[in-house]
Chain A
Amino acid sequence: MSANTKSILLVEDNPDDEALAIRAFQRHHIGNEIVVAHDGVEALDYLFGTGTYAGRDMSIKPTVVLLDLKLPRLDGIEVLRRIRSDERTKLLPVVVLTTSSEEQDMLDSYSLGCNSYIRKPVDFLQFSEAIRQLGMYWLLMNEPPPV
Chain B
Amino acid sequence: MNPKLLSKLRSFCRDDAAFEQLQQSLLENIQPLESEIEQANFQIEQQKALFHVIARLREPLDLETVFQATATEVRQLLSADRVGMFRFYPNSGYDDGEFVSEDVDPAFSSAMARKIHDHCFGEQFSAHYQQGQMQIVADIYNAGLSDCHIEVLSQFEIKANLAVPLLQGQKLWGLLCIHQCQTPRQWQPTEIEFVSQIANHLGVALQHAELMADLQAEIIERKQAEQAVLTLNQGLQKAIVELKAVNRELESFSYSVSHDLRAPLRSIDGFSQALLEDCLEQLDVTGQDYLHRIRNATQRMGNLIDDLLNLSQVTRSEMHLEPVNLSSIASNISTELHRSEPERQVEFSIQPGLVDQGDARLLQILLTNLLNNAWKFSSKNPQAQIEFGLLPVETEIPTYFVRDNGTGFDMAFANKLFGPFQRLHSAKEFPGNGIGLATVQRIAHRHGGKVWAEGALEQGATFYFTLKPEGAGT
Contact = CB atoms under 8 A, between A and B. Distances in A.
Contacts, number: 63
Given A99-B259, A100-B259, A122 B309 contact: no
Interface in B223-276: 254-255, 258-259, 262-267, 269-274
B267 A20 contact: yes
Contacts of B273: 124-125
Contacts of B306: 101
B258 A16 contact: no
B259 A124 contact: no
Contact of A16 (B255, B271, B272, B302): B271
A23 interface: yes
B327 interface: no
Given A16-B263, A124-B269, 20 more contacts: A14-B267, A17-B263, A20-B266, A20-B271, A99-B262, A100-B258, A101-B309, A102-B254, A103-B313, A120-B266, A121-B266, A121-B302, A122-B265, A122-B302, A123-B269, A123-B295, A123-B302, A124-B274, A124-B295, A127-B266
Contacts of B255: 100, 102
A130 to B, nearest CB: 12
A43 to B, nearest CB: 18
Nearest to B256: A70
- Nearest 3 pairs of A and B residues by beta carbon: A122-B302, A16-B267, A124-B270
17 contacts: A14-B263, A16-B263, A16-B267, A16-B270, A17-B267, A20-B270, A99-B266, A100-B255, A100-B259, A102-B255, A102-B258, A120-B262, A121-B302, A122-B298, A122-B299, A124-B266, A127-B270
Given A101-B309, A122-B265, A122-B302, A23 B259 contact: no
Interface string B290-301: 000001001101
Q: How large is the interface on A (under 10, 10 to 19, 20 to 34, 35 or more residues)?
A: 20 to 34
Contacts of A123: 269, 295, 299, 302
Contacts of A16: 263-264, 266-267, 270-271
Interface in A111-125: 120-125
A122 B262 contact: yes
Contacts of A103: 313, 317
Contacts of A14: 263, 267
A147 to B, nearest CB: 35
A124 B262 CA distance: 12
B346 to A, nearest CB: 31
Contacts of B295: 123-124
Contact of B266 (A70, A100, A102, A122): A122
A102 B257 CA distance: 11
Interface residues of B, number: 25
B450 to A, nearest CB: 27
Contacts of B269: 122-124
Nearest to A20: B270
Contacts of A70: 259
Nearest to B302: A122
Interface string A62-100: 000000001000000000000000000000000000111
Contacts of A100: 255, 258-259
A99 B270 contact: no
B132 to A, nearest CB: 81
Interface in A5-19: 14, 16-17, 19
B442 to A, nearest CB: 17
A19 B267 CA distance: 9
Contacts of A23: 270, 274
A122 B259 CA distance: 11
Contacts of B272: 124
Contacts of B270: 16, 19-20, 23, 124, 127
Interface string B274-297: 100000000000000000000100
Contacts of B262: 99, 120, 122
Interface string B352-377: 00000000000000000000000000
A70 B259 CA distance: 8
B263 A99 contact: yes
A107 to B, nearest CB: 12
A64 to B, nearest CB: 21
Contacts of A125: 273
B269 to A, nearest CB: 5
A70 B272 CA distance: 25
Contacts of B254: 102
A103 B314 CA distance: 12
Contacts of B298: 122
Interface string B303-323: 000100100010001000000
Which of A23, A70, A99, A122: most chain B CB closer than 10 A?
A122
Contacts of B309: 101
Contacts of B263: 14, 16-17, 99
Contacts of A20: 266-267, 270-271, 274
